Structure formats: C-alpha cells, structure tokens
Structure 1
C-alpha cells in the first residue's frame, strides 16, 4: 500500500487497530469524535506499546508512535487512505452516518472495514456510493493482542474487497477468517454464544458454580483451544481421526443436544447470583486492574505462541 491507513473511532478497539497497523510499518491517521479521547490517545498508545515491548512483541516504541497521527476530522484521516478501519460505537444509526461521511472522502481504490461485533454491513452501508468497497472486519478486543479478524461481505461487497482486506490483515500479523456470507453474530460470537448459553443453563440449574464452570474452560477446553480449534481437537482425540471420533462420540452429542432445552433469555435470578459470585471474587473497583492483568496474560501467551511450531 502506498497510502496511509485511517482509523475512525478510537475507543479500546479503534486504538488497538491503530497499534496493529503502525507496528507493522504503516502510517496511521486516527480520528475520534470525542476530544477527550483524542487528547488521551498519545499516552494510551505509549502505555500499551511499552507493555508490549516488555514481552518482546515490539522492539521500538518511539518508532511505532511516530507512525500514528491523531487527526481533528474524518476528512483529515480518510483523504488519501488506502484502507479505513471504522470502529465507532455499535449502533446502526451511528455507523450509517459515519460510513456515509467516510464514503465522501474515499479514493477510487480505497477500502473500508467495519469493526462491528454482530451488525451486518448491509444494515449500514446500503446507501454508500462505494458500498461494494465496504466489508465487516470484526476483531476481538483488544485487536493488537488477539489476532483473529472476521471478514464478512455484504451482498454487494465485491470479491476484490474481500481478498484485499484478507491480504492486508494477513500482512499486518492478524489471522483473517473469511465468512462467505452474512449471518447474525458471524462465527466467533455464535461459537461463544453457544458456550455461554450452556454455561448459564448449567449455572442456573445449580450443576456447578460460576467459578467451577470457568475452571472447566480455563484448565480444560481452553488449554487446547489456545492453539487449535474444535475440528482439529476432535481429529486428534480418536485413534484414526475425525471420522472415528464422529462414529464413537457423535451419538452422545446428539443425545445431549436432544436433552438440552431451547436457548432463551438468561434468567434474572441467574444473572443476579453470578454477579454476586463474581463481585465476591472480584470487587467492582478492581475490574480495571484485572483487565490489565488479562492483557498482560494475553501478551505472555502471544509471545509464547510465537515460539511454537504451527
């Protein structure tokens, strides 16, 4: 890419995107409608990059910082950009408004990816003159530490947009996943939602505490899932592979599914009890500190994964 990359919306996700692109060598221009956020971005970037440097995830904090410019308008950020990462709040009306403004300043080959967690691009890009160059590029928060990004086209997104967005994400160290067509929640949140629904049901019915359900994932499923997914997991869990696993254990999973009640709203009582349990384990005034702990653990994990043979 010969031009810069623009990031519109600089909350936790947008700021993480700016780091993703800048650490890989791109010039990045960032805009957020909040002056307060814009003023605190330089210190936020430095703190995040210095933390990454302690885990050898970057080598030169100042060099990365010099590639990031905080802008005072959408036009200042977008004009001349090869790629725009839209990361505003998850509201259809706001995304529609912001994408329309971005659309006004796009160059003839510029692409736009949206950080939406579940809104399809078709719900907010239909009115854009360049709608074929808009696509969902959904990261996991924080994107500079968790590399997966889901690329989801609207019905009118052209194939070139999908391919070029995938290539860009690959080139900046992310792990792009192409979803062939729109589906609510995409892939990651549908998988997460299925696990959460079962976790809430088990908790609500009193089969285990929230802590023990978390332990089951933390010390069981999560250890394998840190470096391989569900299909590879079961492929390795039967003597001759995935078809063997399906023959041996498929009927058990069918029986479990048939006995599982339909998913419904998480009960108010379960949410109340889970909240009480979590606040007893982690008081509300310690959540920010625990979030920082999480990010440090993620950095250590990413650093460790880089040493593993794929």
Structure 2
C-alpha cells in the first residue's frame, strides 16, 4: 500500500482521469489547479482532446473572476494519453468518471485492473452506485472506493468518500488526504447506502418539491424561490444541523423539542412516495419552460456557473477573514 503521507504530499504525483465528460473535465481542473500532472483518457475517439480544449476555456473563465492565476500553466499540466495503460502509468490516483451504469463501470474496472500499478488508488465519480457493485471481481479492489463530487467539482468542493466492504482503511485515508491537498472538502460514509449522503438529502427535498406541485399547493417557480431566496441562503455556509442549532435559544435539543412534533406530523402525512408519472412530469416541464425556454438552457447553465464562481470567491474571502480574526 502507498505511503499516505509521502504520496499525498508529492506535488509530482500523476493523476489519471478516465472518462472526460463534464465531470471528468471538472476533476482535471481540480487536480491541475493544485499543481498535479493530469492524464486524460477516454475510449471515445477525440473525446479527451475536446475535453482538454474545454478545460482551457473554463480556466479562462476562472481567471476572469480571480479564482485561478496563470491558466496557461495549469492547462499545460493536463495532457491527453494515447491509451488507458499510458494514462495509468505511474499514477498516484485514478478518477473514474464514465457512464453511470454498473455494466460500463464493471468492464472498465477490469481494464484498469489489468494495467494498474501496485499502489494506485481508484476513485469513482459514481453518484449513487456503490463500488461493491463494480469492483468485486478485480484484484485491486482494496484500493477502490467511490469519490463522488458535486458538479462542477472545481467550484463545489464537497467529495463523498464511500468505501466498499473490502476497501482498505488506508485507501480511504489516502484518498481523503489527496482530496484535502487539492482543495476539496471530503466527507466519509462508514458503509455503502444507495444515493450516499448528498443524493439521499437531495432526494427527500425533491420528493416534497414534486409533491407540492402535484397537489396544487405551489408552483415549481415558488418552490424554487423558497429554496434560492430562503433555505439556500443559509445552506450556502451552514448545514441542516447547524441551522437548527442556531434557530432556537437553547440550541439543537431545544429546537427538536419545540418543533419535533410538527416535523413528525408532516412526515406522517407524506409517507407515501409516488412515482413521478408522466402527467406530473409534463406539468412541471410546462411550468419550467414557461420560465426558461428549452433553447436557453445552455445559457442559463453558464449563468449558474458564473454565480457559483462568484460564490466560491466570496466564500474564499470570508474564510480568509475568519482565519485572520481567529488568529488575533
């Protein structure tokens, strides 16, 4: 097993990014921005080259808002590998970001296992499929886990680390150290659960959001506004437990005793989770397209990324101010 301290501190450690769509490209920016050499590989001809060009564009956007310096130097650290073996040669870590399908990931893991080095870790960007479903058959399985980001990872630093039953503790510690070194914010699950942390939390909110529209209690626009202009403002810098800890005079226990009954009543009234059927999907689609025509989706996505860049810069400045205040 790799020496974790020396491996994660090694600025020359190579990273292999396998699967170069939006998530894989985002990961490449994370690692290259931190000073690491990145090899891109994609089985689709020309995909890695297109991804590298997109990375250059994104780095220019990040420079424009003050989030990176010398984008050309960062871009130069990202190269396209001729083969999977070439990408993995000497790699400290592999970030797999291929299609979210068990059969695709299983086949790729067999290919990786055939050429992987004896100390290389493998993290999957899987958003809900546990590593146990696609790594059981490979010899390197003790060095495999899920490392799931929020997209784009270079703007949203959270990374969910989810071990399979056979993932070695040293692997989790090593990948956590690497993620911290490159500026990400890792969180760990003790064992696999479908959806992990992020999508289990998001899933509950989405289920209730669809229900509110389905029952005619609110429009999709007003549900979105409730989050963006309400809950989301606090959630940009606090999680749900800290939020309620600060929302009652006596802290979290006081909040739970005051409002626990209300939430229990709400839960009891919404214990049936219906499928999002086609009529409901059509209703929400119509409401969304009335606000944002389909032709404007791409432009709105770019707007979202600019807002995330501004928020990332603000949070960086506020964290620096907090650290300065604490050091006094």
Q: Distance in 1 between matches of 2:129 and 2:51?
A: 26
Q: Deviations over 1:16-43 (max 9, x none)?
A: 0000000000000010112232231232
1:104 paired residue among 96, 102, 114: 114
Q: State the 1:215 CA deviation.
A: 0.3
Distance 2:53 2:78 in 1: 12
Match of 1:89 among 90, 96, 99: 99
Q: Does 1:176 align with 2:180?
A: no
2:80 counterpart (67, 70, 80): 70
**Counterpart Cα distance in 1 of 2:48 and 2:121:** 24
Q: How does 1:259-278 map to 2 (within 5 A)?
A: 259-278=269-288
Offset of 1:79 from its aligned partner? 1.3
1:27 aligns with 2:37: yes
SS at match of 2:161: strand
Within 5 A, what are the aligned runs for 1:6-45?
6-45=16-55
Cα deviation, residue 268, structure 1:
1.8
1:79-126 alpha-carbon deviations (Å, 9 max, x no partner): 110100001011111101111111122211110000000010000000
Q: Distance in 2 between matches of 1:182 and 1:120?
A: 6
Residue among 296, 304, 307 paired with 2:314 = 304
Pairing 1:48–2:58 present: yes
Distance (Å, rounded) in 2 between the aligned partners of 1:42 and 1:8: 13
SS at match of 1:306: helix
For residue 191 of structure 1, what is the aligned residue in structure 2? 201
Q: What is the alpha-carbon distance in structure 2 between the residues aligned to residue 261 and residue 254 of structure 1?
A: 10
Equivalent positions of 1:216-295 (< 5 A) are 216-295=226-305
Q: How many angstroms apart in 1 are the aligned matches of 2:279 and 2:52?
A: 43
> How many equivalent pairs are there?
310
Map of 2:134 onto structure 1: 124
Residue 269 of structure 1: CA displacement?
Answer: 1.5
Q: Tell me what 1:163 maps to.
A: 173
Aligned partner of 2:326 in structure 1 is none
Q: CA RMSD in A?
A: 1.0
TM superposition shift of 1:262: 1.4
Give distance in 1, aligned partners of 2:93 and 2:101.
22
Query: Aligned equivalents of 1:124 and 1:200: distance in 2?
Result: 32
User: If the length of structure 2 is used for normalisation, what is the TM-score?
Assistant: 0.93
List per-residue Cα deviations over 1:125-149 (Å, max 9, x = no partner). 0011110000000011111111101
Bigger mean CA deviation after superposition, 256-265 or 230-239: 256-265
1:201 match: 211
1:135 alignment partner in structure 2: 145
8 Å CA contact 2:52–2:79 kept in 1: the answer is no
Question: Is the partner of 1:307 in helix, strand or coil?
Answer: helix
Runs of 5+ in structure 2 lacking a partner? Answer: 1-9, 323-328
Aligned equivalents of 1:10, 1:201: Cα separation in 2: 36
CA contact (8 A) 2:26 2:154 kept: yes
Mapped to 1, the partners of 2:146 and 2:302 lie a distance apart of: 28
Contact kept? 2:113, 2:140, Cα under 8 Å = yes
Distance in 2 separating the partners of 1:204 and 1:3: 51
Q: Aligned to 2:318, what secondary structure does the other structure show?
A: coil
Q: Report SS of the residue matched to 2:162.
A: strand
TM-score (structure 1 length as normaliser): 0.98
1-side partners of 2:274 and 2:285: how far apart?
Answer: 19
* Distance in 2 of aligned mates of 1:39 and 1:68: 10
